[in-house]
Structure 1
Amino acid sequence: MQRYGRGTRWGSIITPEALNQMITQNAVRCVKVALEGQAPELGRCRAGPNVMTQYGYFPLHRAAEMFSVDMIELLIRHGASANLRTAGAEVIEGLLPLHVAVDNTCMHKYLEDSLFPNREDQYYNEHRDCSEADANYIFRLIYLLCLPEMKIFLDTTRLVAKYTDNLLVELWNYIKDGKLAQTAILLLAAQQQIRMGTSRKKKGNSKPDGFPTICERILDNNITLQLEKGQNGIEQEQVDAKIKLNHTAMMLVRVISKAGEDLDSYIRNHLEVPYFMQVPHLEVLERVSSILKDNV
């Protein structure tokens, strides 16, 4: 700020780009000083937690992309909203910080090979209406998400989801679009909020369990798809593929509904330690298998 003060300030406001650079560097203490706006060395300049950058996203989007739980907590304490969406020609429009966390989690190397069943799983391709294939795919996905290396990604998603409005709507959109990996991530990370029916339960406003609600939507959507067969030029094969994805999503929702609390507890107990000190993957496989066997 002392060297490039003019380029990082608008009057008494620290520019969104300057704040974005601090978040990118995960400089939590610097961001804290910037948000508080009390430092004489900075001319008492203050950064806005909900000011859009020139590229169309907000501070919480960048923190979610960085998977920095400390940074997200800091921004939220200073008024950052988890319900602001990206906008503009420089970015994919309409993304919440939650979408950034979930979609970027899907890019992790442990999930890339399992993002879509038809990507490499020949068995699944050849037996798509086989419940055993669906169960194997779901188990593999849950097992990968329970690896200690995935803890920080689920922790980030859980935290952002806690402050996201209309969480069931966002979950349903993933299911409706056939995004099974994203659905699994959000179900597993935010299962506690989903059980309350909303991520932000207002005082005196009792909401039903979100898991049955989502199951009902899947069933209703299947009925709608069945009625669409042969109408409006829609190919029956396309409808059948959507129905099969819905069946897989239904199985996934039911598994997390029953085993989600135990799986979540197991994930939270992972230690954030260097990779070479992590829990062996075989041990994770055995523990996840045991949890699913006991609950499903």
Structure 2
Amino acid sequence: MTSSTEENDPWNPPYQCTHGPAKDLAEHTKLLKLVLSEKCALFEVSRATNTIVPDRTPESVKDALVGKLPRLVPILEKDSVRLFVKLFKHDSVGLAWGFVITPGTFNQMIMQNALRCAKVALQGKVGFRANPNYMNSHGYFPLHKAAEMFSADMIKLLFCYGASANLRTVGPEVIEGLLPLHVAVENACQHKFLEENLLPDKGNTDHVYRLIQLLCLPEMKIFLDTVRLIAERTDDLLAELWKYIKDGKLSETAVLLLAAQKKIRTVSYENGNIKTDGFSIISNLCTENVVAIDSEIAQNRARKKQQLKADKKLRRMALLLVIVICEAGEALDAYIRAHPEGPYAM
């Protein structure tokens, strides 16, 4: 008997035979071939289109890919479809296994930003298909790597073939629970341009205006574009934004507010005749939180009060960010889009 877990496993989806019993040996042999063909077709589709966790690639196949990299990487650097197809045709060992292109192979395509080869892989034109929602052995998905690479074109391609922006990292080799959105936002905030030019005092109002000014410069355009693309497909965006605010992460809050402002404005909550957008919701949460902190300050000892006062200061700075981008965000976005991309360097 097959367990319910196995029945729901997209790597080994359940197969139900609809054929009647064979009358003789010849018919039985023919039926076996037909059943095997149907099973293979079922596995091929399921493994290429469903979310696959964890990586099912055997170690021997991963080792074979390592040996194939000296041939594969130069092809991907050129993004040569002809050479890529030729490599698969003559020697696919290490590149594909179990009816699909291995996540390790597809990860190499994203690392090299080989858009043409990636498209061919997603279409299955090399005899195997790449799955945009297949977790690799390191615990992340293709969209996480594309977000890390800030490749807007690769992100668009992955979305075209069904990549989900709501899959989280899992495993000992990664920070668990990260969405592609987190990767894009947090890597943007680690850009040396921001680190070198931001004011050190996060509690100062000037810090907020300086942060917005820096994010509007051409050097940050590619990062905002990446965050915008992923934010559009991310569920519960306000919850992710509110978490950054609660954690006192002003830079991350500013990046997400500025890049995802269009989606934030479309989030609505109706209470009677009152319709509230995402900016109002977040603004109200900030205000309510400041009031709650004030109440805690009145009830706590001096040491706890210092931390609460620091939290209150950060929450007020976040509220200022929300107000400024709510009022001026569309004009800032038009300004950002009107300028060419600046040099990309981390």
| Residue in 2 that maps onto 1:184 | 254
1:281 alignment partner in structure 2: none
Amino acid at match of 1:22: M
| TM superposition shift of 1:11 | 2.7
Distance 1:86 1:274, change over 3 A: closer
Deviation per residue, 1:89-133 (Å, 9 max, x gap): 000011110100000001111111356x5xxx3xx48xx5xxxx3
The 1:90/1:33 distance shift into structure 2, 3 A limit, reads: same
Percent identity for Structure 1 against Structure 2: 56
Return the alpha-carbon distance in structure 1 between the equivalents of residues 232 and 306 of structure 2. 38
1:153 counterpart = 2:236: no
Q: Which runs of 4+ in 1 moved over 6 A?
A: none
Partner of 1:11: 98
* 1:195–1:209 Cα contact (<8 Å) kept: yes
Residue 69 (structure 1) aligns with: 152
Paired with 2:305 and 2:225, the residues of 1 have a C-alpha distance of 40
Structure 1 vs Structure 2 CA RMSD: 2.2
Residue number in structure 2 paired with 1:51: 134
Q: Aligned pair count? A: 252
Q: Do the aligned partners of residues 240 and 77 (structure 1) sit closer, same or farther apart at CA in structure 2, a change above 3 Å counting?
A: same
Is 1:163 equivalent to 2:233 in the alignment?
Answer: yes
In structure 2, the partner of 1:279 is: none
Which of the pair has the greater relative contact order for Cα pairs under 8 Å at 6+ separation? 1
> Structure 1 unaligned runs (5+)?
276-296
SS of the residue 2:166 aligns to: coil
Contact 1:157 1:190 in 2 (8 A): yes
CA distance in 1 between counterparts of 2:302 and 2:252 reads 29
For the Cα contact (< 8 Å) 2:293–2:312, is it kept in 1? yes
In 2: Cα distance, 1:273 partner to 1:86 partner: 30
Residues 43-78 of structure 1 show CA distances to partners (whole Å, capped at 9, x for unaligned) of x10010100010110000000000001100000000
Would you say 1:247 and 2:316 are equivalent positions? Answer: yes
How far residue 246 of structure 1 moved from its aligned partner, in angstroms, is: 0.6
Q: For the Cα contact (< 8 Å) 1:197–1:207, is it kept in 2?
A: no
1:162 alignment partner AA: E
- Structure 1 length-normalised TM: 0.80
Structure 1 pair 274–166 and aligned structure 2 pair: CA distance change class (3 A): closer
Q: What does residue 285 of structure 2 align with?
A: 217
Q: Which residue identity is paired with 2:304?
A: E
Contact 1:228 1:234 in 2 (8 A): no
